[in-house]
Every structure is written in structure tokens, then in C-alpha cells.
Amino acid sequence: MPKEEVESAPAFEWRYLNEERPDIFDLLTPERLLDVLRYYTFFKKNKKGAKRIKVITRWNQYRATRRIIERIEEYLSKSSEKKNGLVWQWQGSAKTFIMFFVANWFLNRYKGKNSVVFFVVDRTDLKDQHFGVFEAVEDREFREHFDVIKNISELRKRIEEMMKSEETGRVIPTGLHITMIQKFQYGKFKDLMRVKKVQSEENFEAEKAVRKSEVLFLIDEAHRTSTKLTR
């Protein structure tokens, strides 16, 4: 479906599973409706106008979230080795809500395994945008575990705590953390890394690694500044 046609489609139209035409009957099936109510509907505080507003997923957000969930479940169930992916969404498609839907599902689905989520961005305005949405969410459990990693020292401390917890058999605490890609600086973490040179190319490998599977990175736009940092 051409981008201009997708953008002109009314937000209230339900185009899952078929983006070519709206199908409200799919949304009203018991399985779909209960799923939307459970994981894709929430209230958030509002600074202007009404004190609180209800947020309900759009079809494009639902589709993107479902695809991400499928990839996660396939990897954690060991039915697939694929553990990453790329979701393309146009400007104004509310990617922040997609990240919330995924993180909230992940937190609940793997609650007994103390899941950890890192929201990674590359600009302070994006960090503030994500913080504003997540901080306004009226979900006690989500907000209990949510915080912002303010500096490199704090990020390193979190990573070291996760490593030490695995070494000692302690439980890694559940966490939902916003951080910026610029904090992952090689010079600050090089003692945890080893570098291999293959045909003049430098390959970075972790000297130590967190083996816990229920750790999720949701990266928004950070590809623009991550190339040189990860080479």
C-alpha cells in the first residue's frame, strides 16, 4: 500500500489483517477485542484539556507490535534463532506507543522471569518525549519499574549489577530503562570487551555477557548515530 494512501486512511479504520481495506469485523472478534482491551488500551494523564485520556491502538501500531511479539516468542521458545528486527513506521505514527505496547506486554508475559527492557534513543528530545508518555501512563506496575538512566556511570552500574547477579545466582530485578545510545561508549566499557582484528576490521565481542534471555532493547531512531559507536 503506497505511503501516501496509508497516511490518508482515517486513524479509526481497522486494517488488520488486510491493510488494503478496512475490516471492523476482525476487530470485533472475541479474541482480537480481548487482546486489544488487555494490552493495547490504557489511560494516561493529560496536561491540557481533559485530565486523563484513553489511548487505543491504531491498526498499524497493533500490526507492528504483533510482529515484534511473534519474533520475541519465536526466539525465546527456541523455534527461531532470529532475535532482532526492523520496524518501519512513518512520521506521526506514534512509535512511542508501539514501544510502550511491546514493553508492557513483555513485562506481563515474562513477569516471573524478571524481564528487563531498555528504551534506546539518540536525542534528548526523543528521550523527553518517551519519558513524558511513560511517566503519564496510569499503570502502577509499569511506572514502578520505569526510570531514566541519567549518565554513563549509572548505565555501567546497571550492566555490572546484571552480570554480578548472574555470577552469584541472585535475581536480576525487573526494570524499564530509558537511555541514550551515546552512553554506550567503548572507552567506558572496554574492560568488559575484547577486540579482534580480522583483515584490518575491528570486531567487538563481550568479554562477559548477560546470559539472561528476557532482556529486550527497543531502539528508536538511534541508527542515525550508532554506526561509528559500534564499529
Residues in the chain: 231
Given a cut of 60, is residue 190 above it in pLDDT?
Answer: yes
pLDDT tens digits for range 199-228: 666 666 666 677 888 999 999 876 665 544
Q: Which pLDDT tens digit goes with each residue over 28-44?
A: 999 999 999 999 999 99
Give the pLDDT of residue 43. Answer: 92
Domains present along the chain, CATH in parentheses = 3-230 (3.40.50)
Q: How far apart are CA 217 and CA 117, in angstroms?
A: 6
Torsion, Cα 40 46 51 54, to 10 degrees, reads -20
pLDDT at 139 over 60: yes
Grid cell 516471573 in the structure block, residue: 112
State the Cα–Cα distance between residues 21 and 19, nearest whole angstrom.
Answer: 6
Return d(Cα 184, Cα 191) in angstroms, integer: 13
Pairing of strands 41-45, 52-56: antiparallel
pLDDT of res. 206: 65
- pLDDT at residue 231 in the model: 37
Number of helices and strands in the chain (H, E)? 10, 8
Identity at 188, one-letter amino acid code: K
**Per-residue model confidence (pLDDT) at position 166:** 81
Distance from C-alpha of 60 to C-alpha of 89, rounded to nearest angstrom: 8
> Distance between CA 188 and CA 157 in Å, rounded?
11
φ/ψ bin of 199: left (φ > 0), alpha (ψ from -120 to 50), beta (otherwise): left
At what angle are helices 30-39 and 95-109 packed, to 10 degrees? 100
Cβ partners under 8 Å of residue 83, min gap 6: 71, 75
- What is the band of 230 on the pLDDT scale with cuts at 50, 70, 90? very low
Q: Provide the mean pLDDT of the chain.
A: 83
For the stretch 73-107, pLDDT in tens is 999 999 999 988 888 877 777 889 999 999 999 99
C-alpha cell at 183: 552512553
Torsion of CA 168, 173, 178, 182, to 10 degrees: 0
The confidence band for 12, taking pLDDT boundaries of 50, 70 and 90, is: low
Share of the chain above pLDDT 70, in %: 83
Three-state secondary-structure class, residue 203? strand
| pLDDT score recorded for residue 222 | 67
DSSP track, 153-202: HHHHHHHHHHHHHHHHTPPPPPEEEEEEGGG--HHHHGGGEEEEEETTEE
Tell me the mean pLDDT in the region 144-150: 91
Q: 169-178, pLDDT tens digit by residue? A: 888 888 899 9
Q: Is 46 left (phi over 0), alpha (psi -120 to 50) or beta?
A: beta
- Averaged over 13-25, what is the pLDDT? 81
